[in-house]
Chain A
Amino acid sequence: MKETENNKLVAYVLGDLSEKEQQEMDRLVRESPALQQEVADLKMVLGEIDQEPEIQPSRYSRDQFFQYLEMEAKNDHRAVNEKNHRLSWWAAAAVALVVIGVGFGVMLQNHSRQEAQIQRLSSEVVETRKLLLLAMLDDASASERIQAMNVSARDYQQDDRIVSALVDRLEKDENENVRMKAAEALGNFLPQEGVTEAMIRALELESSPEVQIMLIESLVSGGRKEAVPSLQRLLDREDVPEVVRNVAAYGLETMI
C-alpha cells in the first residue's frame, strides 16, 4: 500500500474521514481480508497507547506549589498596601480641598474591604497548605512523611494540629527514620505545651537507638531540665545500648 492509502486507513480507524469517505472505506475493508488485518493491527496499537500507565505526582510537589501560591498571595497583599498608601495621599488631597467628606469615607471602606478579601485569600492558601502537610504526614509512603517533617520544622512553629501530628508520628510510626525525623522536628517546638512531655514519654518507650539518640539530643539542646530524671533512668537500663547511654550521660553533664 502507498503511504497516502496507509494514512487514509489510519484516518478511517480514528473516524477522521467524512461520512461519505468513511462509508466507502467500510465497503473496501469488508471486501479485503488484508485491509481487515491492517485495521486490526492499528486498533491493537491504539489500544496499547491508551493503556500506557500514568505516573502519580508526589505530594511534595503539591506542597511546593501551595508554598509558591502562598508567597504570591503575600506579594499581592503587599502590592495592595502600597496602592492604598498612594491612594491615601490622594485622599488627603481630597480632604484638603474639602470636596466631599462622604466620598472619602466610601473610598476608604472600599479599600479596606479589598484588603480584607486578599487577607482572607492569603490565609485560605496557608490553610490549604497546612491541610496538605497534615495529609503528607499521614501518607502511606515514608519518604513523603519525612519530607513533610522537614517542611513542618521549617515553616509551622505555631500550629497545634501540625505539632500533634508530629507527636503522633513520633509515638506511632512504624518507620524508624520517620520517628527519628519527628524527634528532630519536634526539637523546634519544645517550648510549646505538651511537646517536652511527649518526647520524654517517647524516650521511655522507644526501642530504636537512633531515635533514642535524636530524642536525647533534641531535649538536651533545648535545655529541657524536665528530662533529667528520665535521662538518669536511661543510664541504668540494661536494654539500652551503650552508645545511647553515653549520649545520655554527656547530655546530663551539660544540663546539670
Chain B
Amino acid sequence: MPSYSFGKKNKQDRSLRPVSNALEEWSDEQLMQGLSGGRLACGAALFERYHRPLINYFYRLCSRVDWSEDLGQITFERIIRYRHTYRVDLPFRAWMYQIARSQLADYYKRHGREMTGIYGEDHRFGQEAPVSRQMESREQEDTLQKALAALPSEYREVLILTRYQGMKYQEAGQTLGISEGAVKVKVHRAIQQLKVLYFKFDQE
C-alpha cells in the first residue's frame, strides 16, 4: 500500500504523490486489475496519473474549465464504479477515453450543445479561466485556436488523442472504435486542413 506525502516543500509542487512505492511503477492495466480486485488505492494512483490529461482532453474539446473539471470528476467516478467491467485486453487509456467521450456526449445533450463548432466559443480568457494559466495570449496561439475551431470535430478529436494525449494510432483507434489505418488517414487530413486554416487565419 502506498504511503502518501507531500512533494517538495515548494508551494507550486505540493501535490500528493505516492512515495517510494511500487504502485507508481505499475502499468495502467495492472493498476486497473488491482482496482477491480478491490484495491482502491490503485484508483488513487490512476487518478494521479490521468486527472490532468483527462481534464485537458475535455478542455480542448469544450473550452470550458468548469465543464472539464466536472467531466473529469464524473469520468473517474465511472471508472471506480464500473471497475468490474474493465477487460484486460483493452488498454486502460482507451477504456478511459471511451467513458470520457460518452460523458461528454451526454453533457452536450443535457446542455443543448453540439459536438461540432464548440471550440470556437472561446471561454478560455473569460471568468472561468484558471488563475494558474498563463494569461499572456500569444498571437499564434489565437490563430491556432481559430484554426482548431474551424476543424471538423472528428479531426479535432484524433488530433487531441494523438498529439496531446500522446496515443499511438492503434490505441486511438481502440478508443474511437475505428481501425488504426483510419486513424492515420484522419490524422494526416486533419493536419493538412489545420495547416490551410492556420495560414488563412494568420493572414486575416
A interface with B by C-beta (< 8 Å): 3, 6-11, 14, 16, 41-42, 45-46, 48-58, 61-62, 64-66, 68-69, 72-73, 76, 118, 120-122, 124-125, 127-128, 131-132, 135, 138-141
Contact partners of B41 in chain A: CB under 8 A: 121, 124-125
Q: Tell whether B198 is near chain A: CB-to-CB under 8 Å.
A: yes
Extra contacts, 5 of them, besides A48-B141, A55-B130 (Cβ < 8 A), are A10-B188, A61-B51, A72-B43, A131-B5, A141-B131
Taking the closest CB of chain B, its distance from the CB of A73, in whole angstroms, is 5
Closest 10 CB pairs of A and B: A56-B132, A7-B188, A10-B188, A45-B195, A61-B69, A57-B55, A10-B191, A48-B144, A6-B192, A128-B4
Complex CA gap A53/B192 in Å reads 22
Contact partners of A127 in chain B: CB under 8 A: 4
Is A56 a contact of B133 with CB atoms below 8 Å?
Answer: yes
Is A58 a contact of B198 with CB atoms below 8 Å?
Answer: no
Which partner residue on chain B sits nearest A144 by CB separation? B131
From known contacts A76-B38, A121-B40, infer whether A65 and B76 are also in contact, taking CB-CB under 8 Å. yes
Contact partners of B1 in chain A: CB under 8 A: 120-121, 124
Is A132 a contact of B195 with CB atoms below 8 Å?
Answer: no
Contact partners of B97 in chain A: CB under 8 A: none
The 23 listed contacts between A and B (C-beta, < 8 Å) are A3-B192, A9-B192, A10-B187, A10-B188, A11-B184, A11-B188, A14-B187, A16-B188, A42-B195, A45-B144, A46-B163, A49-B163, A49-B164, A49-B194, A55-B68, A56-B132, A57-B69, A65-B47, A66-B44, A72-B80, A131-B6, A132-B16, A141-B132
Interface size class of B (residues with CB under 8 A): 35 or more
Is A45 a contact of B191 with CB atoms below 8 Å?
Answer: yes
Complex CA gap A67/B72 in Å reads 14
Per-position contact with A for B176-190: 1 when CB-CB < 8 Å, else 0? 000000001101110
Contact partners of A7 in chain B: CB under 8 A: 185, 188-189, 192
Complex CA gap A231/B143 in Å reads 61
Contact partners of A58 in chain B: CB under 8 A: 69, 130
Complex CA gap A52/B141 in Å reads 7
Which partner residue on chain B sits nearest A68 by CB separation? B77
Is B51 a contact of A65 with CB atoms below 8 Å?
Answer: yes
From known contacts A45-B198, A62-B51, infer whether A55 and B6 are also in contact, taking CB-CB under 8 Å. no
For the complex, would chain A's binding face be called helix, strand, loop or mixed by DSSP majority? helix
Q: Tell whether B159 is near chain A: CB-to-CB under 8 Å.
A: yes
Complex CA gap A128/B3 in Å reads 8
Is B199 a contact of A55 with CB atoms below 8 Å?
Answer: no
Q: Tell whether B174 is near chain A: CB-to-CB under 8 Å.
A: no
For the complex, would chain B's binding face be called helix, strand, loop or mixed by DSSP majority? helix
Q: Tell whether B87 is near chain A: CB-to-CB under 8 Å.
A: no
Is A53 a contact of B134 with CB atoms below 8 Å?
Answer: yes
Q: Tell whether B109 is near chain A: CB-to-CB under 8 Å.
A: no
Q: CB within 8 A of B195: which of A41, A51, A57, A66? A: A41
Is A73 a contact of B40 with CB atoms below 8 Å?
Answer: yes
Contact partners of A52 in chain B: CB under 8 A: 60, 141, 144, 164
Is B56 a contact of A55 with CB atoms below 8 Å?
Answer: yes
Is A61 a contact of B72 with CB atoms below 8 Å?
Answer: yes
Contact residues of B between 110 and 162, Cβ < 8 Å to A:
130-134, 140-141, 143-144, 159
Taking the closest CB of chain A, its distance from the CB of B140, in whole angstroms, is 6
Complex CA gap A6/B12 in Å reads 44
From known contacts A6-B192, A14-B187, A57-B72, infer whether A69 and B59 are also in contact, taking CB-CB under 8 Å. no
Contact partners of B4 in chain A: CB under 8 A: 127-128, 131
Is A49 a contact of B144 with CB atoms below 8 Å?
Answer: yes
Taking the closest CB of chain B, its distance from the CB of A219, in whole angstroms, is 32
From known contacts A10-B192, A45-B198, A76-B40, infer whether A61 and B73 are also in contact, taking CB-CB under 8 Å. yes
Contact partners of A132 in chain B: CB under 8 A: 16
Is A54 a contact of B56 with CB atoms below 8 Å?
Answer: yes
Contact partners of A61 in chain B: CB under 8 A: 51, 55, 69, 72-73
From known contacts A52-B141, A53-B133, A54-B52, infer whether A68 and B80 are also in contact, taking CB-CB under 8 Å. yes
Complex CA gap A73/B1 in Å reads 14
Which partner residue on chain B sits nearest A43 by CB separation? B195
Contact residues of B between 16 and 51, Cβ < 8 Å to A:
16, 38-41, 43-44, 47, 51
| Highest count of chain B CB atoms <10 Å: which of A41, A51, A69, A121 | A69
